[in-house]
Structure formats: structure tokens, C-alpha cells
Amino acid sequence: MKGVIVGITGPTVTVDLTELKLYDRVKVGRAGLQGEVVRLARDHAVVQVYEETRGLGVGEPACPLGLPLSVRLGPGLMGQVYDGLQRPLPLMGETTGPFIRQGCELPSLPPGKKWFFTPLKKTGERVEAGEIFGLVRENAIAHSLFATTGGKISRIVQGEMDLQRPVVELEDGSLLYGFQDWPIRAPRPYSRKLPPTSPLITGQRILDFFFPLALGGTAIIPGGFGTGKTILEQAIAKHAAVDVVVYVGCGERGNEMAEMLEGFAALSDPWSGHPLSERTIMVANTSNMSVAAREASIYTAVTMAEYYRDMGCHVLLLADSISRWAEALREVSSALEEMPGEEGYPTYLASRLSGYFSRAGVVETINGKTGSLSMILSVSPPGGDFTEPTTQGCLRASGAFYMLDTHLAHRRHFPAINWVQSYSLYEEDVVRYFTETICPEWAALKKKALALLQKEEKLREVSEIVGAEGLQDEDHLLLRIADELRNRFLCQNSFSEDAFSTPEQTVRLMNLLLDQYEQASRRLAQGEKLDDLLKELR
């Protein structure tokens, strides 16, 4: 069955094909551009095209491919840099030059690369669909290979394997390969969800101490222009204590992504000491790349993240920024002439967002392992207005809120996380965990620190009214310690040695600062002069 293009509106193309299903893949035009069916009618279908539609003409061919838009999952994902359609960008650069050629098709995983395969099944045994039939070592990860169909094994490879030849033959003639294709919009199945209770250590003091995230939790980083979203996302990508990081550069600057790639090549994971690239997969759909592929890119990324979760890994998905995804969704929706909702976004924006967030979590996998998928997504509300639909949709669906504050950023207090407005719903469980495993005083120190910061806020208000002279000596001391706390604890320069802090270092520093405060307060009460005490603190 072949058809032709009958209409083109921006990234959407109308074709005269009828026997299609929603989300089926279609190739359009002589260049063979990839797209996905987003609307069906009796005599035509509308295809959302993932590549630049420039130069495409009415009357050009349209060819259905049957399967929905999928990602190829298998060994070799780690360390790759993909575009939103899982095309490897470095390979594309080598073969077609610095610009993405329309209709370009390249293997997502290196087909000829040899892997050492350890079977977990023997000839004559049964394997079920979704079951792990063997392992391949991919950097530090024991990469599981999952059966795509079930049956009795008639042959299984030992030792060396690649992705071109079958690894298992079943008695009914079906073949199992080292890879599988998975539709990006369908969450991968698991046995059950478990509550997120263990911490995801980010290496950022303010987050780990005040607003901790749990493995399997979700957080958003909303912030106006230039408040430090990208730097914070990248710092977490470098330092988080997880097995796998999937980083999506979604509609942001291409040069930032390029700088990050260069930086990653030289850095190592602070927890394992291995090169960072060995645990990272990047999906780059920067602002100069196709809008519709940007819409798909976050799904491509989350499917890869779920795949590693199913192996029992702790996976962190970072996206910068989800607002650019929402804008892409709006662009496609308006090309489809759908009824616009608030601020022109489609009415289903909030449900799409919550559907996306619900792919995170701690799960017991089908194979009885425990894996987690955590998400930290940055949000760029236009004009820093947090009441806009994307921020609100994210806020309702996520478990932690790390609000970036323009005033703090202007004062070059980085990370500019507002400690009054930010929150984490995982706090209670995670703080209990830290108190039990790292420092018995963790919870108590946190309470004291928060009380101190709140008191500081009130004192600053008072001093604005009555002037600094109206404050008591103990108030001056408190303001001084609060300053130390801001500068030495809450601030963390990502471009210095201080960029990363273990929970032990974090709690030690807090202990030190609060100790200094208590001692100075005691001495002040005993009659020592404020000026002398303040000098000592310097």
C-alpha cells in the first residue's frame, strides 16, 4: 500500500492513506522523512513529521511502515549521543557532515561490535517473553538481554555475540536477538511499584540536606531566564549517585550541549571513578533541530531509561527543558488545528505531563529485580511566571519543587534555589534514612538550620523597618551566621572544587556552622563583646 502527500502544514503532512493505525510510522516524500500518524479520517491521515519538511511537495510518495515509532534497545546505548529519533549524532557527523541530512538513516546501535555473552538459559529450557535469557558486560553494567517472545530453546550462543546474528533460536523457529525495538509511547511493563524511600544523592548540599529527592522520585527545576537551570542539571548529571544517566537537551542551545559533551569526556563518576560517558546516554534535540522530533525526544529518552531500570539499575533522567517540549507539542497541535486550551497549549497538556511523570518510580521488575527511574526536569516559564500552564502541570505531577530565584541569581548566589518556597515530598523518608545511616543528628540539624534561616528572614524584615541599630546583639550574631550559612553551605559553585559534596561532607559542614553559632551565642550571653565574636567568625 502506497499513497501520496495531499497537503502540508508546517511539521504535519496529510496523506491519502487509509488503512493505518494511530501512531503508525510513515515515510513521506522522496527524501523518505520519518513521521508518525497523529490523526485518522475516512479518506486521509495526518502525519507528524520528525524532520524538516522544507522542500517537500504535494504528490510526493508516502509509504506506511506499520510499526509505531520505536527505539532500539540493546548493548551499546551507553556513551551514545542521539538525536530525538535515536540517530547517533557523531556517526551522522562523520557520514553526512555537520548538518543532519533529511531522511538520513543510520544504525542506532553498533551492529558489528562484539560482546561477550553469558547465557542464563540452556538448550531445551523454556524462556518466557520479557524474561532475561543472558547477560552482556557493558562498562560497569551487567546488561540483561530480554526475550521478545517465549518458547523452548533449540540453540543458544555461548561467548561472543553481536547484534546482527540471532543469539537464541526457539523450537518454533522464532529468533531472539541481542536487541529489541520498543514503541516510545508505551511504558515498559513491571510487576509492581514500590514506594520511593532511599535517597538519590545529587552532590548538591542544598538539595541533599533540605529538599532531598528519593530514588524513583520526580523533581522540577523551574526558573526564569539565566537563573542556572542548565548548570544545575549538568552538575547533577555529573555527580548523582546512580548507575545510569539519560540526559535530554530538549530545545535548548546547541553550544551548551556541545560544551557539556566535551566536559564529560574528561570527567569521571565521583562514585565509581569510571569515565562519566560510560554511564551516560545523551539525547540532543537542540533549538536548531526539528520541532516534532523534540516532541518525541523525551519519550525516546524515557524508554531507554526504563530499559535500564528493568535490569535493576538506578536510572536518572534529566531534561532541559520540558517547556521546550510543551512548546513543540503546542506547535504540532496548532498545525493540526486542534482546539487550543490555556495560552494556546493543547487541552491535553496536563494529562500528557502527568502521564510522562508517571513513568518514573521504584519498581519490582517482571524478572523480580528492583530498579528505579528518577526524573529531574527543568522548566523555563516565559517571563518567570510560574502560573503558566507547563509549570502548573509539572507542579501537580512532580514530587519535589526546586524553585530558582531571580533575585538570588542576580546576586550570583548559585545554585539560586529559593529555600523558603522549594519543597520535597520525599523529605520525611529520606531524612529518616540519612539520620539512620549517615548521622544521627541529621534531622535535628536540619530543623535547627531551617529555624535559623526563617528567623533571619524575619529579622531582615524588621531591620528594614527599624534599621540595623534597632536590632539586639544576638540578632546581629544570628544574621552573621545566616550569612555564613548562605555563602558556605547554600552556595555551591559548579566551576570549583566545591561542585560536589558527599552527604557526610554536607552534614559535617552544617554541624560546624551551627556549632560555631551555639558557641558564639553562649559567649555572648556570658558577656563577651559582639564585635570580638564577629571578628573571630571572619
Ligand X SMILES: Nc1ncnc2c1ncn2[C@@H]1O[C@H](COP(=O)(O)OP(=O)(O)OP(=O)(O)O)[C@@H](O)[C@H]1O
Q: What is the pairing mode between strands 168-170 and 180-183?
A: unpaired
Q: What are phi and psi of 475, to 5 degrees?
A: -70, -40
Q: What is the pairing mode between strands 199-200 and 115-119?
A: unpaired
Q: 15 or 404: whose CB is closer to ligand X?
A: 404
User: Taking contact as CB under 6 A, which single stretch among the options 153-161, 358-366, 475-483, 487-495 is the one that binds ligand X?
Assistant: 487-495
CB atoms < 10 A from the CB of 45, how many? 24
Residue of 142, 359, 361, 376 whose CA lies nearest to 238:
376
Residue of 286, 157, 175, 232 whose CA lies nearest to 413:
232
Residue selected from 27, 87, 229, 279 as contacting ligand X according to rule CB under 6 A: 229
Residues 395-434 that bind ligand X (CB under 6 A): 414-415
Query: H or E element: which one contains 218?
Result: strand 218-222
User: Closest separation between CB of residue 483 and ligand X, Å?
Assistant: 18
User: Taking contact as CB under 5 A, which single stretch among the options 182-190, 222-230, 399-407, 418-426 is the one that binds Mg ion?
Assistant: 222-230
Look up residue 275 and give its DSSP letter: B
Residue 136, C-alpha cell as written in the block:
552482556
User: Closest separation between CB of residue 514 and ligand X, Å?
Assistant: 24
Q: In the chain, how many H helices and how many E strands?
A: 14, 28
Q: 379 or 478: whose CB is closer to ligand X?
A: 379
Closest chain position to ligand X (CB): 228
Q: What whole-number distance in Å separates Cα of residue 261 and Cα of residue 254?
A: 11
Distances from the Cα of 272 to the Cα of 141, 209, 241, 243, 279, angstroms: 12, 22, 9, 9, 10
Residue selected from 68, 223, 361, 399 as contacting ligand X according to rule CB under 6 A: 223
Residue 308, C-alpha cell as written in the block:
535500564
Residue selected from 48, 230, 277, 303 as contacting ligand X according to rule CB under 6 A: 230
Q: 205 or 229: whose CB is closer to Mg ion?
A: 229
Q: What whole-number distance in Å separates Cα of residue 490 and Cα of residue 493?
A: 10
Q: What whole-number distance in Å separates Cα of residue 484 and Cα of residue 533?
A: 14
# binding residues, ligand X (CB under 6 A): 15
Q: What whole-number distance in Å separates Cα of residue 418 and Cα of residue 413?
A: 10
Is 251 near ligand X (CB under 6 A)?
no
| Residue 495 near which of ligand X, Mg ion, none (CB within 5-8 Å, type-dependent) | ligand X
User: Closest separation between CB of residue 378 and ligand X, Å?
Assistant: 7
| Residue 414 near which of ligand X, Mg ion, none (CB within 5-8 Å, type-dependent) | ligand X
User: Taking contact as CB under 6 A, which single stretch among the options 20-28, 41-49, 130-138, 223-231 is the one that binds ligand X?
Assistant: 223-231
Q: 205 or 330: whose CB is closer to ligand X?
A: 205
User: Taking contact as CB under 6 A, which single stretch among the options 177-185, 389-397, 473-481, 493-501 is the one that binds ligand X?
Assistant: 493-501
Read off the amino acid at residue 92: M
Q: 68 or 228: whose CB is closer to ligand X?
A: 228
User: Taking contact as CB under 6 A, which single stretch among the options 73-81, 224-232, 350-358, 525-533 is the one that binds ligand X?
Assistant: 224-232
Q: Cβ contacts of residue 530 below 8 Å, gap of 6+?
A: 473, 476, 477, 524
Q: 365 or 494: whose CB is closer to ligand X?
A: 494
Contact 373, 361 (CB under 8 A): yes
User: Closest separation between CB of residue 498 and Mg ion, Å?
Assistant: 21
Is 372 near Mg ion (CB under 5 A)?
no
C-alpha 385: how far from its chain's center? Answer: 23
Contact 274, 245 (CB under 8 A): no
Is 250 near ligand X (CB under 6 A)?
no
Is 227 near ligand X (CB under 6 A)?
yes
Residue selected from 230, 290, 323, 367 as contacting Mg ion according to rule CB under 5 A: 230
Residue of 78, 139, 75, 79 whose CA lies nearest to 112:
75
User: Closest separation between CB of residue 252 and Mg ion, Å?
Assistant: 5
Is 14 near Mg ion (CB under 5 A)?
no
User: Taking contact as CB under 5 A, which single stretch among the options 115-123, 224-232, 259-267, 480-488 is the one that binds Mg ion?
Assistant: 224-232
**Residues in contact with ligand X by the rule CB under 6 A:** 223, 225-231, 252, 380, 414-415, 493-495
Interface residues toward Mg ion, by CB under 5 A = 229-230
